[in-house]
Structure 1
Amino acid sequence: MNSVRRVNRGPKAAAENRAALLAAAREVFAEHGFDAPMSLIARTAGVGQGSLYRHFSSRDSVILAVFEDNIAVVEELAIRPESTLDDVLDALVEQVTVSTAFIAMVRPIGTDDPRILEVSTRLTELLESKLDSARRDGAFHADVDAGDVVLALAMFAAILIEVDEPTRREVAARAWWMLRRGLRP
């Protein structure tokens, strides 16, 4: 974990501080889970807690920002005309493998936070847009919908939450291979 102390340069450093906080949140959540102290995120980013709370008013807002960044990466890939559902799924699997925040947000259960639900809906819509051609081409079962893919990703994520970091990639590859087989004819 990177805990190099950066010098606070005030409001001029806001964008840099926010980026450092998001990177630190990804790292802290991956290592310690979502219950990790917010102060640990600030320390890891090299900023004070005041800076953390200026950017993110709550734990949920930090988690949401990390998830939003992850979704943005996948959306950038998905809008490319040449990208396929397999490309999008590979990117999602990578995100789930490396980001605990993404794992928890793939299928948010027990939340009524409209911000979280909106980002989750964007993910489902993104998958549905790519599923049409995959089903037409016979690459996926005709009756598989985006909800099924999200469920498979959530099952995949649930497995990875229990796996320690050194073996996560190996388990991820095997688990996703098995789940993907169920989605294909």
Structure 2
Amino acid sequence: MTQHAGSETRRPASGGRNAAARNRAALIAAAREIYAEHGLDAPLSAIARRAGVGQGVLYRHFPDREAIATAVLEENVRQVEHAAEADGADLPKVLGVVTWHLMESAAFIGVLHADGRTSSAPPPYTVALSLRVARALHRHLPADHPLAAEADDLMVAVGMVSGVVTGPTREHRGRRAEAAWRLLGVEVGPVLPFEE
């Protein structure tokens, strides 16, 4: 049997670590879009196509459906935390970021309802993510704010808004979110993702 020179050596991935990081970020962004359009049961192949990579690349970064869903949720929470830490951050601005994620990610809504007090125990990672969002929001909650009366009031309000953020289009979901915050008497800043 003839062996070709170099056949035993691994070819370096084009772009190295930079390409791997770009591919991972593209997969997370694509998963967020696909999940928003088709739900968490969407085919993983659709995520790979949207990201512009092969399925092998997807599985190299995320071995299963839960891994990529977790990565999307982690990215959502990280953006909320960064919004809370940004210069000039206040409760309305951070609530605007939270509301954007509610409108874009049904899975994020599930995380915010995972406070560990329901009859069926949520996965531990979702409880941890929910607590991180609560800490980010409470960091900017003034003591005299209407949602500061009880320790859980702010997250209950977020949960109430998440329950009405439904509808076929982003515009419809946005109108419902704005109406819910208005009815709760809570000021919310621009409903946008956090840009670093």
Question: Given the two structures, how large is their TM-score scaled by the length of structure 2?
Answer: 0.74
Aligned to 1:164: 168
> Is 2:134 aligned against 1:129?
no
Unaligned runs of 5+ in 1: 1-8
What CA deviation, in whole Å up to 9, does each residue of 1:22-56 have, x standing for no partner?
A: 11101101100111111211121121222111111
Identity of aligned residues (%): 38
Q: Which residue of the other structure, out of 140, 144, 158, is the alignment partner of 2:150?
A: 144
Question: Separation in 1 of the partners of 2:172 and 2:74?
Answer: 26
Aligned to 2:194: none
Aligned to 2:178: 173
Equivalenced residues, count: 167
Query: 1:30, 1:99 within 8 Å by CA — same for their partners in 2?
Result: yes
Given the superposition, is the C-alpha separation of residues 142 and 43 from structure 1 closer, same or farther in structure 2, using an over 3 Å criterion? closer
Question: Separation in 2 of the partners of 1:26 and 1:152?
Answer: 24
Question: Separation in 2 of the partners of 1:141 and 1:20?
Answer: 37
Aligned to 2:52: 46
Report which of the two structures shows the higher radius of gyration computed on alpha carbons.
2
Q: CA deviation at 1:130?
A: 2.3
Q: Output the aligned Cα RMSD.
A: 2.3
Q: Which residue of the other structure, out of 73, 82, 87, is the alignment partner of 2:79?
A: 73
What CA deviation, in whole Å up to 9, does each residue of 1:58-102 have, x standing for no partner?
A: 222212211221222221221246422222212211221233332
Q: Which residue of the other structure, out of 46, 62, 82, is the alignment partner of 1:56?
A: 62
Question: Separation in 2 of the partners of 1:118 and 1:57?
Answer: 22
Question: Separation in 1 of the partners of 2:161 and 2:147?
Answer: 19
What CA deviation, in whole Å up to 9, does each residue of 1:10-32 have, x standing for no partner?
A: 57221111111011101101100
Q: CA deviation at 1:57?
A: 2.2
Q: CA deviation at 1:171?
A: 1.7
Unaligned runs of 5+ in 2: 1-12, 187-196
Which one-letter code corresponds to 1:158 in the other structure? G
Question: Given the two structures, how large is their TM-score scaled by the length of structure 1?
Answer: 0.78
Given the superposition, is the C-alpha separation of residues 28 and 177 from structure 1 closer, same or farther in structure 2, using an over 3 Å criterion? same
Question: Separation in 1 of the partners of 2:148 and 2:76?
Answer: 28
Question: Separation in 1 of the partners of 2:159 and 2:107?
Answer: 12
Higher relative contact order (CA 8 A, sep 6+): 2
Aligned to 2:192: none
SS at match of 1:57: coil
What CA deviation, in whole Å up to 9, does each residue of 1:135-180 have, x standing for no partner?
A: 2xx23254232x32222222222222x3111422222211222234
Aligned to 2:109: 103
